[in-house]
A and B are shown apart, each in its own frame.
Chain A
Amino acid sequence: AQSVTQPDIHITVSEGASLELRCNYSYGATPYLFWYVQSPGQGLQLLLKYFSGDTLVQGIKGFEAEFKRSQSSFNLRKPSVHWSDAAEYFCAVVGGSYIPTFGRGTSLIVHP
C-alpha cells in the first residue's frame, strides 16, 4: 500500500522569501509523484509531476520539486513566493492501483 506524509500543516513565509514544502512517500516500487495546489473555493490544479528521468522537475507558476529516492521525499520549492501563492498544497503518490493517495495538505500563508 502507498502513503504520503506532509509533516507541516501550516507554513508561513514572507512575500519574496523562498519556500520548501515537504512530502515523504511510502511505496515499494518506483512512485509516480504529483503536487497539486488548491486555492480557496477551487478544485485542485496540477503543479508538477515526476515519473522518471531527471529528478528535478519544473512545474507551473515557478515551482519545482526534487525526487530523492534515498529519502523517499518529493519536496516542493519556489525561490521567491508571491502573495498569490497562498493556498493549500497537496502531494500525491500513484501506485499500482492507478488511484492517487493524497497527503493531508500544507496550508501556505504569505505575509506581506
Chain B
Amino acid sequence: EAGVTQSPTHLIKTRGQHATLRCSPISGHTSVYWYQQALGLGLQFLLWYDEGEERNRGNFPPRFSGRQFPNYSSELNVNALELEDSALYLCASSLRPGDRNNEQFFGPGTRLTVL
C-alpha cells in the first residue's frame, strides 16, 4: 500500500512569489494535515482538512491557505513568500479524525527554499 506522497520534493522560489505544494493521502484516509518544520523549531501545525472542509488552522498568517479535493488529496498554497517561509513542509493523513488516539502517517516532505 502506498504511503503519503508529496510533490515536489524540493522547491526554490524568490521572495514575493507564490508556492503550491501537493499531498496525496493514504488510500482510505479522509483527513490531511499540513505542518511546517523550520530549522530548530520542531513541527508547527498549519492546517487540517477533512472531507473537503478546513477543520482547524494553526497560528499562521492568511497567506498560508489550502484546499482538499474530492479525492482527498490536498494542496498548500503560500502567497507573497518571505525568507522565513523556508522550511520543510510535511503532510500527514489519518483515518479517524476527532479521535485523540488517531495516528497520523507522514509523507517525506517538500523542502521549500525562499531566496
Binding site for B on A (CB under 8 A): 32, 34, 36, 41-46, 49, 51, 90, 94-105
Instruction: Tell me, rounded to whole Å, the shortest Cβ–Cβ distance linking B115 to chain A.
Output: 21
* Residue of B41, B90, B104 ringed by the most chain A CB atoms within 10 A: B104
A42 touches B108 (CB 8 A): yes
In the complex, A98 Cα to B31 Cα: how many Å? 12
Are A105's CB and B42's CB within 8 A? yes
Number of interface residues of B (CB under 8 A): 26
Q: Does B48 belong to the interface (CB within 8 Å)?
A: yes
- B42 near A100: Cβ-Cβ < 8 Å: no
Contact with A along B30-44 (1 / 0, CB 8 A): 000101000011110
A90 to B103, CA, bound (A): 14
Known: A43-B109, A44-B43, A99-B56. 12 other contacts (CB 8 A): A32-B101, A36-B106, A43-B106, A44-B106, A46-B105, A96-B100, A99-B33, A100-B45, A102-B35, A102-B42, A102-B43, A103-B42
Which single member of B4, B99, B107, B109 contacts A98 (CB below 8 Å)?
B99
For B58, give the chain A residue with the smallest CB separation.
Answer: A99
Q: Is B97 an interface residue (CB 8 A)?
A: yes
Interface check B102, CB cutoff 8 A: yes
Q: Are A98 and B102 within 8 A (Cβ)?
A: yes
A-B pairs, top 10 by smallest CB distance, nearest first, are: A43-B106, A104-B42, A102-B43, A44-B106, A32-B100, A94-B100, A102-B42, A43-B108, A51-B101, A43-B107
